[in-house]
Structure 1
Amino acid sequence: MYKYIVRGGNKIEGRLSIRGAKNAILPIMAATILSESTSIIHNVPNISDVYMMIKILESIGCKVDYNDDTLVVDSSNINCKEIEEEYVRKMRSSIIIMGAMIGRLDYTKISHPGGCAIGSRPIDIHLKALKELGIRIEEESGFIKCYKDKMVGATIKLEFPSVGATENTILAAVLAKGTTKIYNAAREPEIEDLQNFLNAMGAKVKGAGTNYIEIDGVEKLHGVEHSVIPDRIAVGTYMIASVMTGGRLEVDRVIASHMEPISDKLRSAGCEIEYTKEGLKLKPPKIIQAIDLVRTSPHPGFPTDMQAQIMALMTVANGTSVFHETIFENRFMHCAELIKMGASIKYITENICMVKGVDKLYSASVRSTDLRGGASLVLAALTVNGETEISDIFHVERGYEDFENVLRGLGADINKIEEIEK
């Protein structure tokens, strides 16, 4: 177990280059199962969730090689149809393996997913979509068994634009007979990247990035070489680190349309943001202004994965902000930890809170409650004149590559040290 020790007061500024998106690489890794050959993926982030997915792929017979930022997956010999429970319990997003497994095989078994405790994330929408494709599903003792006698295209109307359900449906449908139509599909950029990866393998998917996706089933897919899109959430997190500390930041290789929901909110806080051929330039305001309302919603709305980080920003803003979390019911767990640091946060309901900016935050010993909540504590600590100790940082390492080293390269005084058991 490790923890961060942060001594705040330094500006976070300089030039930054971010590797591939956590939320894009994981479904793409699942999609390699469908090819029955070798796939080469570049710009892969060095994060713990990638290593967990590698273990899952290896457990079913894939040969995986990961060096630098390149991942090579040979899925020609799948010799196990069941996913080990210990892997799935540790990572919620592993549920997207289900669509790829039943797309290729006649049977698969997987446990209900685990991971961050930010909400229940019911997978009923996933299972309903698979059933409509002709998959027979049995649930017992926390496990899901999927049987495929014949999988045929269908018209599927998702009750909610769930990213995971959209991805699972696409992964299953690419090898189904006939055409699948998905209405109310999630529109996140990472789904577009999955579509591009699958189409390069020989699939026929169109519409990703809109709320209607159409898949014409094909008989077989082949290997492919692909580069993952940049991580918009990581970029947004470092942007906020710079704003909170008064630093200027340049980021290489961003996709402007992916960043705009985040950039729009930061402009409301007083930032100047310019997109360039190389990427993005950010100039912080002299005084951070409160954003009246931060309401999370599916893309192209403000991403739930940025809610905790922008809340950290609002704790030191001029004025009062209201946060309305609409995606996950437990995504305010970081609030209690920010309050320990002197933040003024008042709960209105379980998913609405009010944040009044304070002149300064204070050093404290706090605990990372989840991936993005943990990042928000680090951001807050960067402003503190004193030493902040952040434990349970394994959550943060699930989604940020070399978080402390990247921040240190931008001027932060942050160290990762081993926790000593008391």
Structure 2
Amino acid sequence: MNVLDRLDTTLRVVGGARLEGSVEVQGAKNAALPIMAAALLARGKVTLRRVPRITDVSVMWSLLEALGARLSTQDRNTITIDAANVSKARAPYTLVRKLAASFDLCGPLLGRFGRAEVPLPGGCVLGTRATDMHEAAFRALDADVAVAHGYLIASARNGRLHGGEIEFRMPSVGATKNAMLAAVTAEGDTVIHNAAMEPEVVDLANFLVAMGAKIAGAGGDTIRVTGVSELHGVEYEIIPDRIACGTLLLAGAITRGDVTVKKTRPDDVLALQLALGECGVKVTSGEDWIRVQAETVKGGTDVVTAPHPGFPTDLQPQMLSFLCTAPGVSVVEESIFNARFSYVNELVRMGADVRVAMDNNTALVKGVPSLSGAPVEAPDIRAGAGLVLAGLAAAGETEIIGLEYIDRGYERLEETLSALGGQVQRASGIVPFSEPTGTFETSVYPSV
């Protein structure tokens, strides 16, 4: 059975339990995917540890195999990629349409072959995903770029890219990643201005440096890249997933629980910690852990999503669900995507008091004493997680349709929440991944 086509698979959440305990967070989805794509640039084998067992990784796996790479599993969260036999520069639409991060293949293919043909991005529908900044970056590196028949087609003018000055009109995680991926093997120096500063961008840069790339400034708004002739294989561990971490912290907060997330990086979710503190939630942290104690929530707060280090857009739905249960009035403004409140009607079905402004970018949230379980549908990964959190806080049972979205970003979320005392289970009883045996077809990363 195709795990991405299980449209009838649902998640059942029985609310009312106070979450307590500690859990370890998964590896970062948004770091693992571009790093897997970057393995195409290596002349040797790449072994990646802490790769999350999610369906988005499965799609990237299949994309790399379709291009000619060989992949294998070492254990539950460790994979090896051998790109020695990759010979294709054209990514198949049938797989790309399922994954926005598949566009991360543009930079590595262009850098390796001097040509890339990648379908325009798929994945969750979150408003417009413009590719103009990616195109401008490739042109700055001396590539011809065109969009035809649903594909972005880029080719180096003289067979190899050349360094250049790239100036983004606004920070873009995707464009910054593709610019770095293309520039690392370009001839000469590249400077990326107004670069995205997200931790996943830094992790990609660190991975490339570990393979022999010359990159400075990642984590700031200016990144400098000096091209090298080739990159070598490496073993590398993916950073913790800050969005999964934040989701678990908010699960603790919305159930008025006491939850500790371990093996994480507190500095990556400072904006969330501050927002929770403003609501009266006690937040403490150490070197690699964060604890929320939410016996009492004093009130709501105002949140504006922004590029890192601001409040992450991928935690907006989960935060809004929590604010639905916080006393008083809160305002949530979405500044990254122009269609990210599509899930609000589902919360209203559960008794939430939320009104979205005509511009569809601002939501007014009035806290209610309680939510009630209801059948709801998840429109995307993070909205799905937000609905799960609402279900944890609601009276009665919530049935969430669209579990395939949640599986794209969270590694067995129902098991993690159940370990903390939540009552969450798959209605179909189907586990999305079989146990690893060392081959792709029956490994932890299922066929798509």
Q: Distance in 1 between matches of 2:387 and 2:429?
A: 18
Gaps of 5+ in 2: 1-5, 431-448
Number of the residue aligned with 2:93:
85
Deviation of 1:19 after TM superposition, in Å, equals: 2.0
Change (3 A) 1:185 1:277: closer
Which residue of the other structure, out of 28, 31, 45, is the alignment partner of 1:24?
31
Number of the residue aligned with 1:279:
289
Q: Distance in 2 between matches of 1:417 and 1:41?
A: 33
Number of the residue aligned with 1:211:
221
Letter in structure 1 aligned against 2:370:
K
Q: Distance in 1 between matches of 2:283 and 2:314?
A: 20
Which residue of the other structure, out of 185, 192, 199, is the alignment partner of 2:202?
192
Q: Distance in 1 between matches of 2:188 and 2:220?
A: 21
Q: Distance in 2 between matches of 1:270 and 1:363?
A: 26
Secondary structure (helix, strand or coil) at the match of 2:326 reads: coil
Number of the residue aligned with 1:174:
184
Letter in structure 2 aligned against 1:316:
T
- For normalisation by structure 1, the TM-score amounts to 0.97
Which residue of the other structure, out of 332, 341, 345, is the alignment partner of 2:341?
332
Q: Counterparts in 2 of 1:97-176, with a 5 A limit?
A: 97-148=105-156, 149=158, 150-176=160-186
Q: Is the 8 A contact 2:26 2:244 kept in 1?
A: no
Q: Distance in 1 between matches of 2:300 and 2:288?
A: 30
Secondary structure (helix, strand or coil) at the match of 1:214 reads: strand
Q: Distance in 1 between matches of 2:362 and 2:289?
A: 34
Q: How many residues align?
A: 419
Q: Is the 8 A contact 1:187 1:300 kept in 2?
A: yes
Secondary structure (helix, strand or coil) at the match of 1:15 reads: strand
Deviation of 1:142 after TM superposition, in Å, equals: 0.9
Residue deviations 1:103-127 (CA, integer Å, cap 9, x gap): 1112221111111011111011001
Q: Distance in 2 between matches of 1:412 and 1:13?
A: 9
Number of the residue aligned with 1:269:
279
Secondary structure (helix, strand or coil) at the match of 1:333 reads: coil
Deviation of 1:419 after TM superposition, in Å, equals: 9.7
Secondary structure (helix, strand or coil) at the match of 1:262 reads: helix
Q: Is the 8 A contact 1:12 1:242 kept in 2?
A: yes
Q: Distance in 1 between matches of 2:150 and 2:287?
A: 49
Number of the residue aligned with 1:389:
399
Number of the residue aligned with 1:13:
20
Residue deviations 1:196-243 (CA, integer Å, cap 9, x gap): 100000000111110000000001100011101100110100111111
Q: Distance in 1 between matches of 2:261 and 2:367?
A: 27
Answer yes or no: is 1:322 the counterpart of 2:331. Answer: yes
Residue deviations 1:23-66 (CA, integer Å, cap 9, x gap): 11011011100012100110111111111100000000110012
Q: Is the 8 A contact 1:203 1:217 kept in 2?
A: yes
Q: Counterparts in 2 of 1:296-315, with a 5 A limit?
A: 296-315=305-324
Deviation of 1:285 after TM superposition, in Å, equals: 4.2
Q: CA RMSD in A?
A: 1.3
Secondary structure (helix, strand or coil) at the match of 1:336 reads: helix
Q: Distance in 2 between matches of 1:285 and 1:184?
A: 41
Letter in structure 1 aligned against 2:45:
T
Secondary structure (helix, strand or coil) at the match of 2:343 reads: helix
Change (3 A) 1:288 1:45: farther
Secondary structure (helix, strand or coil) at the match of 2:417 reads: helix
Q: Distance in 1 between matches of 2:337 and 2:70?
A: 35
Secondary structure (helix, strand or coil) at the match of 1:81 reads: coil
Q: Is the 8 A contact 2:378 2:403 kept in 1?
A: yes
Number of the residue aligned with 1:70:
78
Secondary structure (helix, strand or coil) at the match of 1:326 reads: coil
Q: Is the 8 A contact 2:324 2:366 kept in 1?
A: yes
Q: Is the 8 A contact 1:36 1:77 kept in 2?
A: no
Instruction: Could you list the structure 1 runs, at least 4 aligned residues long, displaced by more than 3 angstroms after superposition.
Output: none
Number of the residue aligned with 2:434:
none
Secondary structure (helix, strand or coil) at the match of 2:386 reads: helix
Number of the residue aligned with 2:442:
none
Q: Is the 8 A contact 2:196 2:307 kept in 1?
A: yes
Q: Distance in 2 between matches of 1:251 and 1:319?
A: 28
Q: Distance in 1 between matches of 2:297 and 2:311?
A: 23
Q: Distance in 2 between matches of 1:316 and 1:202?
A: 49
Deviation of 1:386 after TM superposition, in Å, equals: 0.7
Number of the residue aligned with 2:445:
none
Residue deviations 1:308-356 (CA, integer Å, cap 9, x gap): 0000000011010111100000100111110111110112231011000
Secondary structure (helix, strand or coil) at the match of 2:245 reads: helix
Q: Is the 8 A contact 1:158 1:184 kept in 2?
A: yes
Q: Is the 8 A contact 1:288 1:316 kept in 2?
A: no
Q: Distance in 2 between matches of 1:69 and 1:287?
A: 37
Letter in structure 1 aligned against 2:47:
I
Deviation of 1:408 after TM superposition, in Å, equals: 0.7
Deviation of 1:139 after TM superposition, in Å, equals: 1.5
Number of the residue aligned with 1:341:
350
Q: Distance in 2 between matches of 1:33 and 1:91?
A: 18
Q: Distance in 2 between matches of 1:192 and 1:74?
A: 23
Which residue of the other structure, out of 45, 53, 56, is the alignment partner of 1:38?
45
Answer yes or no: is 1:227 the counterpart of 2:243. Answer: no
Gaps of 5+ in 1: none
Letter in structure 1 aligned against 2:193:
Y
Q: Distance in 1 between matches of 2:376 and 2:204?
A: 37
Q: Distance in 1 between matches of 2:173 and 2:216?
A: 16
